[in-house]
Every structure is written in structure tokens, then in C-alpha cells.
Amino acid sequence: MTAAAVPAKKVSVKKRKILNNLTAYSFIAPNFIGFAIFTLVPIVMAVGLSFMDWNGSGVQRPKFIGLANYARLFRDKQFIEAFFNTIIYTAATVPCTMILALLLAVVLNQKIFARNFFRTAAFFPYVASLVAVAAVWNALFSPTLGPVNQVLMALGVKNPPGWAVDAHWAMVTLILFSIWKNVGYYMVMYLAGLQSINPELYEAASLDGANTVQRFFKITIPQLRNTTFLVMIMVMIQCFKVYDIVLMITNGGPGTKTQVLVFYIYNVAFNNWELGYASAISMALFVLVLVVTLIMFRREKARSN
């Protein structure tokens, strides 16, 4: 081999690496460009805007006011109410959705009659139009003419709930609708997890005398730990950023009883045109989700170790 052949070989290897990298980046580029334009840049702008006072018009220029927007959060009663409404909604929706999704998955993982039909029926609300299913839901739970209250009165309930128009029941209605709408999606995730469990584990447990309940808690639950953690993270984030369900079911009412943080951000930004303050609320929500997510990841890591 000549001396000139070695550098040429090195150059060709280097070119091949560069071409491979360019090919990889060409596949990544469309997704990254979309992420940068529609997610990264707006986030950076929102962080900067949270320190400004601006109404979004071309007449008023953004005015730097420092931490005034963040200080205002602690004096804003509507923000505090929306914060606690979000916490209540999340705390109730997350465990109920997870438990119901797991139970549905366990039942529909068995060889039962019309199993595929019931799987489809459970998943259908998730893919159905929110506007359509919300209209049907509001009709079913109408305080005066709704079939649900008609059945309750036939059963002897003299004063059935007002559901979405009742200050005491509006949040309950919102939670019930959210669980019904989304449980099918997480049921599918649990079904995938159940089908990845080795059947030999159940056979060995049966030979050792374990009954159905014992197999569920000793085998199914531990084997689904990773799936459960993923589902919990996804449901929690979905609950923290809920907006469309609130808009269609209660519109934040009665009054502000079901006004959650994202709904309040929209009102502040596009009804009051206080874009700086709305950005500050968005940052507060971002920090809340980040802190809760990090705590959950650290706890899961500690459990794994």
C-alpha cells in the first residue's frame, strides 16, 4: 500500500461519515424546524413577554416592568382560584382515569363475547369529535329534561343535581366527562402492557395456589409498573393543560367555579389583552408541571433502585 493511499482512505471514510450525518439530519430537520417555529420560539418569546406590559396592539410597545407580573399572581384571586381548580381537577381525574383504564384493560384482555366490539366502544369517545360528544353529554345531563335526572327522579331523588350549571356539581361533571372521554386511550396502553406479560408467570402462580386477586396484585401490577408510570405522566400533563373540555362543558362556570389555569390564561390574553400577564401565568403553569414531573421521575427512579 502506498503512502498516498492511506490519506485517501481516511478522506473517504470521513466523507462517508459526513454524508451519513447529513442524511440523518435531513430526516430530523422537518420535525425540528416545525418544533422550533411553533414551540421553541413561542416559549422563548413568552418568557421574555412575561416581564413586559403589552396589550398586543401595534400602538403600544412592550414595556419592561420586571417581576411585576409575577408579583401580581399572588394578589390575583382569580389566578389563585384557577390554580386550586386545576389541582382539584387533576387530583381527581388522574387516579380515577388510571384505575378505570386498568380495570377495563384487564376485563377486555380476557376471551369474552364481543371483545373487539367493547374495545372499540371504549376507545370511540377519545377519537370522536369533542363538540359532538360534549353536546350529547350536556343533553344527557340537562338539569330539567336530561335522561339522567329523569331516571334519578324516577328512582325517588327529589332534587337531582344541576350538573354543569350547579356550582357544587360543575367540577364533578367536568371530571366525569374527562374520564369518560379519555379512558379508552389509556385502556389501549394498558392492553399493550398486559399482552407483553409472560403468560408463564400466571401459570406458575396458579400452580402455587394463587387466586385471581393475588395474581393481579402480585404479577399484573408489578409487571405494569412502567406502563402505569407512563400513563400517570401523560394523564397528569393532559389535566394540567386542559382547556377544550372546560370550554365545551361548563365554559369555566358557573361563575369561575371550573375556571382552570389554561382557560384563565386564554381569558387574560385574548379577552383582556394583557399578554404580558398571561405569559407570566403560563410560566407559572410551566414551572408547576415541571416540578411535579421531576418529583415523579425522581420517586420512580428511587423505587427502581
Q: Which residues pair with 165 in a beta bridge?
A: none
Instruction: Please tell me the predicted confidence (pLDDT) of residue 79.
Output: 96
State if pTM tops 0.75: yes
Identify whether the C-beta of residue 257 lies closer than 8 Å to the C-beta of residue 85.
yes
Give the pLDDT confidence of 158-182 residue by residue, as tens digits.
889 999 999 999 999 999 999 999 9
- Per domain, the residue ranges of the chain are 68-304
Q: How many CB atoms within 10 Å of residue 274?
A: 20
Identify whether the C-beta of residue 149 lies closer than 8 Å to the C-beta of residue 141.
yes
Instruction: Please tell me the predicted confidence (pLDDT) of residue 10.
Output: 60
Instruction: Please tell me the predicted confidence (pLDDT) of residue 11.
Output: 59
Average pLDDT value for residue range 67-71: 96
Say which CATH superfamily domain 68-304 falls into: MetI-like (1.10.3720.10)
Confidence band of 129 (pLDDT split at 50, 70, 90):
very high
- For residue 7, is pLDDT > 70? no
Confidence band of 56 (pLDDT split at 50, 70, 90):
confident
Instruction: Please tell me the predicted confidence (pLDDT) of residue 126.
Output: 94
Give the pLDDT confidence of 88-127 residue by residue, as tens digits.
999 999 999 999 999 999 999 998 888 999 999 999 999 9
One-letter amino acid at 155 equals L
> For cell 440523518, what's the residue?
24
Identify whether the C-beta of residue 146 lies closer than 8 Å to the C-beta of residue 140.
yes
For residue 198, is it left (φ>0), alpha (ψ between -120 and 50) or beta?
beta
Give the pLDDT confidence of 252-298 residue by residue, as tens digits.
999 999 999 999 999 999 999 999 999 999 999 999 999 999 999 99
SS3 content of the chain, % helix, strand, coil (to 5): 75, 0, 25
CA distance 170 to 186: 24
| 21 burial type by CB count under 10 A (0-12 exposed, 13-18 middle, 19+ buried) | exposed
Confidence band of 249 (pLDDT split at 50, 70, 90):
very high
Give the pLDDT confidence of 176-229 residue by residue, as tens digits.
999 999 999 999 999 999 999 999 999 999 998 889 899 999 999 999 999 999
One-letter amino acid at 105 equals A
